């Protein structure tokens, strides 16, 4: 039987799986068919792709900066250079933006490249059976001596509430939604921006996917995110009126960039229900040595990939300090 089953291939799941794999046997499970969670990359046809979640990596923490530099050297990540405009004036103009060479989930793919993966498996139940955990997906069961959950807070609570202590269950975590629109611009008018951050509009962020230099095309591809209030307003109803809300967002987009609405075709509108946590939880991770259950995720610490990575490293230190009683491979 496997030592650790890690649920989730996001940055925190990939990071903890990678760290634990140096000592233990690991398998990783995700409900999605692709790797990356909120850092996933959506392919359209053979070459066109959109980073429809995480837009770029940045580092405040020196250790995370080192990790990014290492992956840049290995040609897994690269700098996203060019014309980035910030009309909120909240971010440093010099802040570096780092992206995957092929997609922003390159980071995750690299970390778990040698780990057994079970994708497309939505976990619906977990049960502690003393000697092991029984993990049930919609179509099969997995067994593992220890379990690590890396879902957003609400989803973690839902699946594991019988096994978690009160202080975890009472954490004040509020994850906010985000609406993302993927667009194709069929006209040939080239707009010389890589990204645009905006204030006081429906749209808060625009990314030019062509500017990442991963593909060449005569058309232009845009990833657009809406602001917090707008996202909150429509997150529970956009699925029933996708055309209506897409048109609203496109109207704002074409006004900003001076494009005609008829030049723009919707590839996808996607709602992230648990996009980011606006407040620090006050904890960094969760580890119960007795029940052999661990939890990590960005939302413990902040709202970024860096927070996910830090939470996974904190969990790894906890497991190292208080190792579970299992036979090592
Ligand atoms: C639109 C958007 C833009 C962002 N932009 C940036 C940015 O520019 N820079 C930045 O640093 N951060 C950004 N972030 C935040 C960043 O994406 C996250 O901080 C980070 O990816 C979180 O990683 P994680 O592993 O903690 O969680 P997740 O990536 O959410 O991983 C959880 C995983 O669990 C899986 N899962 C959930 N439930 C189940 C289940 N029942 N069964 C099986 N699997 C399940 C999910 O599929 C997912 O893969 C953005 C996020 C969003 C949504």
CATH number of the domain at 119, please. 3.50.50.60
The answer to whether residues 137 and 260 belong to one domain is: no
Q: What share of the chain is helix, strand, coil (3-state, %, to 5)?
A: 30, 30, 40
The answer to whether residues 271 and 226 belong to one domain is: yes
pLDDT of residue 245: 97
In a domain, residue 230? The reply is: yes
The answer to whether residues 25 and 111 belong to one domain is: yes
Low-confidence ranges of the chain (pLDDT < 50): 329
Helices 11-20 and 305-321 pack at an angle, to 10 degrees, of 30
The answer to whether residues 239 and 295 belong to one domain is: no
The answer to whether residues 54 and 185 belong to one domain is: no
- Cα of 134 vs centre of ligand 1, distance in Å, is 24
Q: Tell me how far apart the alpha carbons of residues 282 and 170 are, in angstroms, rounded to a whole number.
A: 12
In a domain, residue 327? The reply is: no
pLDDT of residue 329: 46
* Residue spans of beta strands (DSSP E) within 89-212: 98-100, 116-118, 123-128, 133-137, 141-149, 175-185, 195-197, 203-208
Q: Rounded to the nearest 5°, which phi and psi values hold at 219?
A: -100, 165
Residue among 6, 7, 8, 139 whose CB has most ligand 1 atoms within 8 A, to mutate: 8
Burial (CB count within 10 angstroms: exposed 0-12, middle 13-18, buried 19+), residue 129 = exposed
Up-side HSE of residue 122: CA atoms within 13 Å toward CB? 3
Task: Give this prediction's pTM.
Answer: 0.96
Nearest CA to ligand 1 atom 20: 305
In a domain, residue 326? The reply is: no
What CATH number is attached to the domain comprising 189? 3.90.660.10
Residue 35 CA, closest ligand 1 atom number: 49
Nearest CA to ligand 1 atom 2: 53
- Cα of 66 vs centre of ligand 1, distance in Å, is 21
Residue 14 CA, closest ligand 1 atom number: 25
Tell me which residues have their CB closer than 6 angstroms to ligand 1. Answer: 7-13, 29-32, 37-39, 53-57, 122-123, 150-152, 155, 178, 180, 225, 272, 275-276, 297-298, 304-308
Q: Tell me how far apart the alpha carbons of residues 15 and 26 are, in angstroms, rounded to a whole number.
A: 12
The answer to whether residues 121 and 218 belong to one domain is: no
In a domain, residue 223? The reply is: yes
- Cα of 160 vs centre of ligand 1, distance in Å, is 19
Q: Tell me how far apart the alpha carbons of residues 316 and 146 are, in angstroms, rounded to a whole number.
A: 13
- Cα of 205 vs centre of ligand 1, distance in Å, is 18
In a domain, residue 117? The reply is: yes
Nearest CA to ligand 1 atom 27: 10
Q: Tell me how far apart the alpha carbons of residues 108 and 283 are, in angstroms, rounded to a whole number.
A: 24
The answer to whether residues 159 and 199 belong to one domain is: no
The answer to whether residues 135 and 7 belong to one domain is: yes
In a domain, residue 329? The reply is: no
The answer to whether residues 18 and 159 belong to one domain is: yes
- Cα of 189 vs centre of ligand 1, distance in Å, is 34
Task: Give the number of domains in the chain.
Answer: 2
Q: Tell me how far apart the alpha carbons of residues 97 and 151 are, in angstroms, rounded to a whole number.
A: 26
Residue among 11, 31, 37 whose CB has most ligand 1 atoms within 8 A, to mutate: 37
Residue 52 CA, closest ligand 1 atom number: 1
Range of the domain at 200: 175-277
In a domain, residue 301? The reply is: yes
Nearest CA to ligand 1 atom 33: 8
Nearest CA to ligand 1 atom 26: 297
User: In b/e form, how buried is each residue of 151-170, taking b as 16+ CB within 10 angstroms?
Assistant: bbbebbbebbeebbeeebee
The answer to whether residues 25 and 107 belong to one domain is: yes
pLDDT of residue 259: 86
The answer to whether residues 142 and 10 belong to one domain is: yes
- Cα of 223 vs centre of ligand 1, distance in Å, is 17
Q: Tell me how far apart the alpha carbons of residues 248 and 264 are, in angstroms, rounded to a whole number.
A: 13
**CA-to-CA dists, residue 307 to 110, 299, 301, 319, angstroms:** 18, 7, 5, 18
Grouping H, G, I as helix, E, B as strand and the rest as coil, residue 246 is: helix
The answer to whether residues 151 and 57 belong to one domain is: yes
When computed from its CA atoms, the radius of gyration of the chain, rounded to whole angstroms, is 20
In a domain, residue 189? The reply is: yes
Give residues with Cβ within 8 angstroms of 155, minimum separation 6.
Answer: 274
pLDDT of residue 94: 61
């Amino acid at each position: 039987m496997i030592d650790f089953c890690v649920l989730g291939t996001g940055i925190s799941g990939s990071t903890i799986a990678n760290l634990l794999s140096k000592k233990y046997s690991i398998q990783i499970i995700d409900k999605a068919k692709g790797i990356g969670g909120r850092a996933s990359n959506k392919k359209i046809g053979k070459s066109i792709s959109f980073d429809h979640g995480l837009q770029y990596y940045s580092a405040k923490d020196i250790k995370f900066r080192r990790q990014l530099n290492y992956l840049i050297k290995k040609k897994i990540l690269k700098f996203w250079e060019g014309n980035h405009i910030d009309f909120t004036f909240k971010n440093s103009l010099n802040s570096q933006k780092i992206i995957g060479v092929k997609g922003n989930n390159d980071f995750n793919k690299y970390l778990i490249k040698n780990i057994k993966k079970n994708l497309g498996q939505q976990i619906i139940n977990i049960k502690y059976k003393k000697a092991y955990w029984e993990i049930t997906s919609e179509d099969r069961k997995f067994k593992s001596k220890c379990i690590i959950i890396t879902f957003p807070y609400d989803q973690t609570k839902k699946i594991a509430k019988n096994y978690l202590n009160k202080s975890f269950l009472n954490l004040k975590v509020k994850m906010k939604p985000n609406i993302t629109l993927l667009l194709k611009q069929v006209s040939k008018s080239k707009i010389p921006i890589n990204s645009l951050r905006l204030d006081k509009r429906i749209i808060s962020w625009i990314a030019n996917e062509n500017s990442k230099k991963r593909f060449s095309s005569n058309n232009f591809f845009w990833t657009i995110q809406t602001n917090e209030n707008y996202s909150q307003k429509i997150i529970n109803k956009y699925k029933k009126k996708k055309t209506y809300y897409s048109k609203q967002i496109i109207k704002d987009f074409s006004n900003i960039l001076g494009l005609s609405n008829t030049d723009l075709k919707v590839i996808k509108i996607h709602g992230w229900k648990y996009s980011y946590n606006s407040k620090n939880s006050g904890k960094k991770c969760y580890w119960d040595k007795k029940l052999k259950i661990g939890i990590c995720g960005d939302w413990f610490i902040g709202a970024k990939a860096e927070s996910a990575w830090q939470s996974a490293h904190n969990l790894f230190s906890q497991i190292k300090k208080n190792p579970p009683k299992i036979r090592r491979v």
